[in-house]
Each structure stands twice: as structure tokens, then as C-alpha cells.
Structure 1
Amino acid sequence: MLLDKLKDYFGENFVTNEKHNTNNHHYYWFKTPDNEVIGFPKDKIRHNELDLLNIFLKPIDDKITYSPQTEEEKKWASLLFTDADVELPNQTSFRFIYFLLKEELQERDTFNEAIKSLFPGKTLILWETETTGVFIDFEPKTTDMLDNFFESIVDTVISDFFVEIFLYLGSSNITTDDARTTYQWEKGSFRTIQKQVKKQVYKGEEELPFLLFDEATRDTLLKLRDQTLQRVVDDRDLIQSIKVYLDCNMNVSLAAKKLYLHRNTLQYRVDKFIEKTGIDIRHFRSAVSVYIALLIEKNIH
């Protein structure tokens, strides 16, 4: 893997955009073929090494700016992207929504206007690189009342701008006091989780198990999966039925409707799973263990 080889060669003289940002001009910034942003400190990289990096990686021009326009945007950018002390009115109930575009967008102003027009309340848009940034949603409770709202943003960007976009929804109960640390942690979580599971919209609280997966070895994950699912793993209909059952909060009627099954048929499959595995998924703690095992089965290959 390219990142592993770079780490082996450069060691500590190598950072990722998860913990730093490209507004830090003490680094040479590059983008890998996998669209990951990485940086090398200018005072520790030799000219021949820089020439080599320019061949294999795409340089990010530090002359390109993604400058915020309004005073409020400038304050938020300073708070999130730098170490500067910034005073903002203390407020709660805002949320960071991190975005990643698959390729550079030429019509950034049009994109900003389109996104803001979709949100029901006040929203700021800050760009960190030419393909990444954050929406700040100041009325998340109102936004969450709209069905499939973030999926509609993805569809709009694809249809109007012909580029794929990926979204990560952060916590909706942060304050300005912990905004900077929350921003860095959630941004890093987005990058980590996206390496493991591919989809357009990531809901932060639902994706947390993948952070644990990243810390565990492959052998540990496979053992956990086998310990739980070994006797049923080849019964794909049963596995799918149990996953939907757990997704529906163990509500048999709702899950049966989603699976287009008679309620009694699904109840039979739940009983069959319990009998074969010895794990009673009607109880919360057991259901959590099985749900994590199902996530491993689906996403760890």
C-alpha cells in the first residue's frame, strides 16, 4: 500500500490531513491516487525527495486559496483550520457535515449557492481543499425532519455537477467551545470509516463500530465473526433476515414488511437463528454482538 511505503521511508516526516490541514504552509501537500491528502514538512524534505514525490503524487498548489468570503466564515475557518484564538457567540445545536468530492469542481460558487438553497435553515460552507470541506448546519433539528434529505443532496450534486459526493454527518449537540476538537475527530473518523465501507451518506453515530474495526487485527475480527455466525454464515436468506430484524430494532412486524415476508415466516427465522447459534437476539446485549458480527461479515473481506 502506497501510504505504508511512504511511512516506512519518511517516518515522522509525513502527516495526513486527518490531523492537519492544507492551510498550514509549513508543509508540502499532495494527493494520493486514492484521493488522500498527505503532507511533508518543508524544512525536512530534500530537493531530490520532493522531485520524487512530485512524480508519484499530485501536488496541491499552496497558492490556491479557498478563502471564506464573509466575516463569519473567516472566524469559523480560523477556529477549525488554524490554532488561532477565535471568539464566536456560544451556541448549541449545530452540526458539521463533512463532504468529499470525487474530483475537483470548477463551479464552486454555483455549488455553494445550490447547497445553501437545499438546507431549510442557516448553513455555512467552508472549503479545506479543492475536493473537501464542511457544511455547518445551524438548524439540525429542522434538517432532520426532512425525509432522505442528505440523499437528495447527493442526487442533486451528481445530476447538476456530474461529480460524486460523499457526506459524513457529525454530532448535532456540539458547542463552539468544543468545535475545533470535534471537527478534527469527526474528520479523521470520516477518513477512517470510508476506507472500510463505501456509501454516499455516513451517519456518524451509526458508523462508530468501524472505528473499532480499524484498531483490531483482521484475525481478531474474523474470529469474532466466526464465534458468532459460524453455524449460519452460509444461509444467506437467514443472515439477511436477521440483519433487517436488528435494523428494525427487533420489531418483527416492521422487519417482515420490509422483507416482504409473512410475520410468522420471519419469526420462524429468528427462532431458527437462536436455535442454531445459541444466541438469543431478542435481548439487547446479544443483539449488539450479533449486529457487530454482521457488520464484519458484510464489510471485512
Structure 2
Amino acid sequence: MLKELESLYEGDIVINGQPEHPEDYEWFYTADGDEIGIAKHRLTEQERRLLALFFTPAERRREPESEEERAWKRWMATGDPAAPARLAAPYCRFIHFTASRPITNKEEFADAVCGLFSSPVTIVWEQDRRGLIVEAKQKRTTEPSSLVDMAEALAADFYTAIHLLIGPIRSVDERLYESFLLEKECFSAARRFWPKRTVYEWEDVIPLPLFEEGAVSEKARRILSFLDGFDDKEVRAMETFLQCNLNVSMAAKKLYMHRNSLQYRIDKWTEQTGVDIKRFKGAAAVYLAILHRRRS
């Protein structure tokens, strides 16, 4: 249906994007969380009612609270360099977020988010359900991430599932806008790939372009299909082992099984596939095969 809408309102529709003047658009959400903006002057009242039957109308956007937020919105839409120039830091990190339902009290949400960071942050809303957290950083060093806990805390406080993409710390330079657009695209891909996961780290999404439509050759498909003989439960166990950094004890706890039982299964995986998942190269191969399986 989105393609039909794009054709019908060509030039006056935005899907998962940020126009320069969002207040001139009527906004709707699909069941999959996509955002649709249609220029108000193109819609009749009958069309509005019809669209509201198929999609969820968005609440009216609030006006930006500060010039800083307005500057970041312009930057997100056009790459206007005014916003990054306002950062009193040589580095920054973007945390992209989306919620399963509109956040009605944005001030409380902002207070909750700001309290979870030690560095200064700016929250820029793209829509009622999604936005960007800009974290100013004085150093390029990273501290252990607590954003998984943050997503869970926000979900509990605001009764909505929160999905986050934690971008890497980047230099504030002329390449920042291009990096932002890439991260935004990767966030959408990650949500399609892992719809139940709440937090995506940058290293999670790096391999995803390898599995885009048309990117995988027939030879690669054959090579990466070595997990086809395993059921989903077994593959989830492999993935848990990888997520635990190849730590058998930690993975066994997460899988609610005895360490020796998991060790036996790991040995069987190696025997059946010829790939030693306990070694880095083998683990990398299994991880790519899991991604390929999910994409297929």
C-alpha cells in the first residue's frame, strides 16, 4: 500500500523521513511502525478519514522547545551545519530511538533520558514515536553501555516498547551528516531483522548490508546454508553462545541448562558442520550463517 500512496501523492509524501517543515504534513503510522507524512494541502477531509481507517493518525507535533532543537531538526532534514557547530565537544554519539506507541508526555520522557547520561544530551523528536538523542562527548573513549537497562526502564515508565540503536562515537566534522543518515538506515534494517530486540549496537548492524536484497550471490547462499539441518531452537542456542562471547558457563545460565550439556552440544555442532564455533573464525562464520538464515 505504501507504494500506491507514493504514486498517488508523488512529491507530497514522506515515508520514514524528515521534511523541512513537518508541520505542513498530516502524519500517520502503519502497523509496522512506518511513518507516513502527506502534505495537508493534498488531502481532502474524506481522504483523511479513509487514511485514518487504515493507519493510526499521529498526534499533533509539539513545537521545538529551543533553538538548539530547531537547529538539529534542520540538520537532520538538510545537513545544515549550524547544529553540530553548537556542540561544545569535539565528538558526539547518536542514539536513535523509536517507541511502539506515541510518547504523550515528552517533557517527562526527556527528564528520564537526561538522568541516565553523564554527558550532556539533546533530544530531537522526529515524530511522536521516534527521535534522536545527541550525546556530546569530550573523549572518544566508551564506557560500558547501560542502554539495555535504559530501554527497559523507559518501557516500564511509559508503557511502551523502546527500541534503540547506539551509534559509535564520531568526530564532529563534515562527515557527520552522512554518518547520521547511514545510522538511520541501519536502524530501520535492524528493526526489520530483529523485531523483538530492543537495543542494537553498531557492531550488530555492520554485517546487515551483506544480506540486503540482491547482495547475496548464489554461491554465498550455498556456503552460508550449513545451518539448514538445525532447528530454530538449536540455532537460538548457538546465537546465545555467541552473544555471551563464547563463554560456556554464561551461555548455559541463559539457556537454563547444565554447562556440560551445552559443551556437549557445542562439540556436536562442530562435528556436524565442520566449523569450530569456539574459535574466532568459526564463530564469525556461524554468526554470518545465522544472519543469512534469518534473512531467508
TM-score (structure 2 length as normaliser): 0.77
Q: Does 1:192 align with 2:189?
A: yes
- Residue of structure 1 aligned with 2:127, choices 129, 133, 139: 129
In structure 2, relative to structure 1, the CA distance for the partners of 1:3 and 1:195 (3 Å cut) is farther
Q: Does structure 1 residue 38 correspond to structure 2 residue 33?
A: no
Matched residues in 2 for 1:97 and 1:58: separation?
25
8 Å Cα contact 1:101-1:166 kept in structure 2: yes
Conservation of the 8 A alpha-carbon contact between 2:93 and 2:136: yes
Deviation at 1:167, TM superposition (A): 1.3
CA contact (8 A) 1:244 1:255 kept: yes
C-alpha distance in structure 2 between counterparts of 1:124 and 1:42, whole Å? 29
Contact 2:23 2:61 in 1 (8 A): no
Inter-partner Cα distance in structure 2 for 1:55 and 1:255: 46
Match of 2:153 in 1: 156
Q: 1:109 aligns with which of 107, 110, 116?
A: 107
Q: Which residue of 2 aligns with 1:100?
A: 98
| Counterpart residue number, 1:77 | 73
User: In the alignment, which of 171, 176, 180 is matched to residue 179 of structure 1?
Assistant: 176
Structure 1 vs Structure 2 CA RMSD: 3.9
Matched-pair contact (CA < 8 Å) for 1:120–1:142: no
Shift of 1:140: 8.9
Please tell me the residue identity of whatever aligns with 2:148. Answer: E
Return closer, same or farther for 1:105/1:266 CA change in 2, 3 Å cut-off: closer
Q: Which amino acid aligns with 2:153?
A: T
Change in 2 beyond 3 A, CA 1:166/1:246? closer
Q: CA deviation at 1:122?
A: 1.2
Describe the superposition over 1:49-98 as per-residue Cα deviations: whole angstroms up to 9, x where unpaired. 9555455334557x6334032x4333333322345342445743311111
1:119 and 1:143 in contact (8 A); partners too: no
Report deviation, 1:36: 0.9
Structure 2 residue matching 1:103: 3-state secondary structure? coil
- Partners of 2:139 and 2:292 lie apart in 1 by 32
Establish whether residue 294 from structure 1 lines up as the match of residue 290 from structure 2.
yes
Q: Contact 2:20 / 2:78 at 8 angstroms: preserved in 1?
A: no
Q: In the alignment, which of 219, 225, 230 is matched to residue 228 of structure 2?
A: 230
In structure 2, what is the Cα distance between the partners aligned to 1:295 and 1:174?
30
Closer, same or farther: CA 168–269 of 1 in aligned 2, 3 Å: same
Cα displacement string for residues 152-187 of structure 1 (whole angstroms, at most 9, x for unaligned residues) = 222322332222222111121242433322222212
Give 1:115 deviation, angstroms. 1.4
Tell me how far apart the structure 2 counterparts of residues 255 and 58 of structure 1 sit (CA, whole Å): 40
CA contact (8 A) 2:89 2:137 kept: no
Cα distance in 2 for partners of 1:41, 1:106 equals 23
Report the secondary structure of 2:170's partner residue.
Answer: coil
| Aligned equivalent of 2:200, options 184, 199, 202 | 202
Distance in 2, Cα, partners of 1:66 & 1:143: 35
Task: Say if 1:140 and 1:291 are closer, same or farther in 2 by CA, change over 3 A.
Answer: farther
Residue 194 (structure 1) shift: 0.7
Percent of aligned pairs sharing the same letter: 28
Taking structure 1 as the reference length, the TM-score comes to 0.76
User: Structure 1 residues 83 and 154, CA, compared in 2 at 3 Å: closer, same or farther?
Assistant: closer
